[in-house]
A and B are shown apart, each in its own frame.
Chain A
Amino acid sequence: MAFESLTDRLQNAFSKLRKKGKISETDLRGAMREIRLALLEADVNFTVVKNFVKTVRDKAIGADVLKGLNPTQQIVKIVNDELVKIMGDQAVDLNKSPKIPTIIMMVGLQGAGKTTTAGKLALKLKNEQKARPLMIAGDVYRPAAIDQLVQVGQQIDVPVFQLGTDVDPVEIVRQGLQKADEENNDYVIIDTAGRLQIDEKLMDELSRIKALAHPNEILLVVDAMTGQNAVNTAEGFNNQLDVTGVVLTKLDGDTRGGAALSIRAVTGKPIKFIGQGEKMTDLDVFHPDRMASRILGM
């Protein structure tokens, strides 16, 4: 979508103002409006936007940007720095268990990219740490979900533990963990069915899996194209499961990805990885600064 970048927006706003003479404090409001709009167009949640704009405004006043030579650049810098700060300054590593196996659980809404990301993560661990991961097929609901994970496993040469669709997912995980013990797997990645955060029965199933498996990492997988609803989803999953990290998928599209900011702001949990394609190698470490630029269209 041909959205303007924040820099262009601010420059337009200020060039109108410059014609009137100098930039005053009331003119700052115009700038804040442009920031608000840019973030809303990037799908950042409106309550998150509200708080964010207030912080930026206070900082801008504190820094006396209007007295400076280039208020556009100064404000863009404040916005950018603040975004990076909120999104967590630095890339955060995967949690690791002191003794094997490290257990990772994938959770999220339907179609977010959990199964694909499970495979990508397994491959990444294999390639970078010579890990010997096992994947557990815990989705007994979606048609052919197990076939999907098994095929992914074949593609990347990683074993998949499955018991078909007639066994309770908690039991599947229990037996899967036993298998990992026997086989000395150093990582276990549990794929779970997509579900709505308001689905009490299925959310309870995740809690039971968590209670049994004590995962070191519960990764909430979120589609980067998600709109305002990102906060509801993130809060729902986080309140129920206390997730440890987030994976943002489908960033190879043309979305601005404002969901990243929303999720980070409401959960405080780090975004650890981003999905940038359908191939098994398309998983990258999250960089807050790049995400900030993307959201701002720069």
Chain B
Amino acid sequence: TNFSGVDDDFYDDLEETLIGADVGFETAVQISDEVREEIEAKHENDQKVISNLIVSKLVSLYTRNGTKEDNHLVFATEGPSVFLFVGVNGVGKTTSIGKLANRFKKRGKKVLLAACDTFRAGAIEQLQEWGKRDGVPVVSGPEKSDPAAIVFDAVKKAKAENYDLVLVDTAGRLQNKVNLMKELDKMRRVITREIPHAPQEILLVLDATTGQNAMSQAKIFKETTNVTGIILTKLDGTAKGGIVLAIRNQLHLSVKYVGLGEQVDDLSPFSPKDFVDGLFSGFLEPAK
């Protein structure tokens, strides 16, 4: 929808664009109200100025909710760093690990993968295939074996053989499965017992096509595993992933990387500006 001039329809359209991007009803209304206030205070009716205003408003709304956070991943000052990947089923955990392993290997880090999804059919082979593509080793165990035992082996190997980074794949689990959530906590404790400040990152992988349930995912995963950041996948599709705005607002969790496809290079550091531009593609296109 293009807009000319600013009337109630404009704010309705804005609200619907935001709702359509999955930011959620409350956040959509809040943003739309704030934008309205500002436009009215400034008596603004130049379309271009208004577009810029909306974008910068949203970018600042995103950033102000976590001023001291940034999207860098935290590494250990000494010894191996461990990143644990968690999330519900099918969101892109294993693929994101494959992409990140490549990225960090290119930067000269010695990377190890831990195949701790011993549950889903073909999960170990999937990570092994990524390991082959990336040229990094994979620690694995028998199917259905205890993931905590595998992560233990991986961390031990990392210490003994001076790895810089261990990326730990876990089985997808829905956040309402209490026992499976406890299993994650057990893995985390095993890691910390071996390396006191590890895991340096617990990355929650969220699928951009997910709607309001992503808030529940973020809340419960954060409560049980101390999530440190988000990887937002599948932004190459038509879904916008707007719920991360609300997640940022309420839980102060920030997106660190975005997934933009299935290939190894389809991963980028999160840019609030690009993200917001994506939310409004279509809405802010200037009228011809």
Checking A46, A148, A250, A252 against B121 with a beta-carbon cut-off of 8 angstroms, the contacting residue is A148
Which applies to chain B's interface (DSSP): helix, strand, loop or mixed?
loop
Q: How distant is the Cα of A155 from the Cα of B174 in the complex, in angstroms? A: 22
Report the number of A-B residue pairs with Cβ-Cβ less than 8 Å: 144
B197 to chain A, nearest CB (A): 32
Q: Say yes or no: is B270 at the interface (Cβ < 8 Å to chain A).
A: no
A148 x B126 contact (CB < 8 A): yes
**Residues in A177-236 with C-beta less than 8 Å from chain B:** 196-198, 223, 225-229, 232-233, 236
Q: Say yes or no: is A25 at the interface (Cβ < 8 Å to chain B).
A: no
B222 to chain A, nearest CB (A): 14
**Residues in B165-214 with C-beta less than 8 Å from chain A:** 174-177, 207, 209-214
Which applies to chain A's interface (DSSP): helix, strand, loop or mixed?
loop
Q: Which residues of A contact B125 (CB under 8 A)?
A: 143-144, 147-148
Q: Which residues of B contact A41 (CB under 8 A)?
A: 24-25, 212
Q: Say yes or no: is B142 at the interface (Cβ < 8 Å to chain A).
A: no
**Residues in B107-133 with C-beta less than 8 Å from chain A:** 119-123, 125-126, 128-130, 133
Q: Say yes or no: is B267 at the interface (Cβ < 8 Å to chain A).
A: no
Q: Say yes or no: is B226 at the interface (Cβ < 8 Å to chain A).
A: no
Residues of B within 8 A of A (CB): 16, 19-22, 24-25, 88-92, 98, 119-123, 125-126, 128-130, 133, 174-177, 207, 209-216, 219, 234, 236-240, 243, 262
Q: Which residues of B contact A101 (CB under 8 A)?
A: none
B88 x A253 contact (CB < 8 A): yes
Q: How distant is the Cα of A232 from the Cα of B129 in the complex, in angstroms? A: 32
Q: Say yes or no: is A69 at the interface (Cβ < 8 Å to chain B).
A: no
A41-B25, A111-B92 known; 10 new pairs, CB 8 Å cut-off, are: A1-B213, A42-B212, A119-B121, A141-B262, A144-B122, A144-B125, A148-B121, A148-B125, A228-B21, A233-B209
Which stretch, A58-66, A128-136, A254-262, touches the partner chain B? A254-262
A198 x B238 contact (CB < 8 A): yes
Check A254/B175 contact, CB under 8 A, given A196-B236, A228-B22: yes
A225 x B126 contact (CB < 8 A): no
Q: List 8 A-B contacts (CB under 8 A).
A: A143-B126, A143-B130, A144-B123, A149-B122, A225-B210, A228-B20, A253-B176, A254-B175
Checking B22, B25, B123, B234 against A110 with a beta-carbon cut-off of 8 angstroms, the contacting residue is B234
For A254, the closest partner residue in chain B by CB is B176
A223 x B209 contact (CB < 8 A): yes
**Residues in A8-45 with C-beta less than 8 Å from chain B:** 37, 40-43, 45
